[in-house]
Amino acid sequence: MNRNNGLYLVIGALIVVVVGLGVYLYREETKPKGVEMTIGSDGVKIQEN
C-alpha cells in the first residue's frame, strides 16, 4: 500500500505542475499588448510590449 501512496503523490505533483504551467501561459498570452512610455532622468523611453 505504501508504494501506491508514493505513486499517487507523484501523479498529484505532476498534475499541479501542469495546471500551474497552464495558468502561467494563459496569463502571458492574455497580457494586453501596447506601448510602454517612461519618463526619467535619461529622458523619454518608448518600448513596445
Q: Tell me the residue range of the domain where 12 lies.
A: 2-48
How many structural domains compose the chain? 1
Residue 49 has pLDDT above 80, yes or no: no
Radius of gyration of the chain (CA): 21
Mean pLDDT, residues 2-19: 93
Average pLDDT, the chain: 89
Distance between CA atoms of 4 and 34, rounded to whole angstroms? 50
Which comes out higher in pLDDT, residue 11 or 1?
11
Residues 23-45: pLDDT tens digits?
999 998 887 778 888 999 889 99
Output the 3-class SS for the chain: CHHHHHHHHHHHHHHHHHHHHHHHHHHHHCCCCCEEEEEECCEEEEEEC
pTM more than 0.85: no
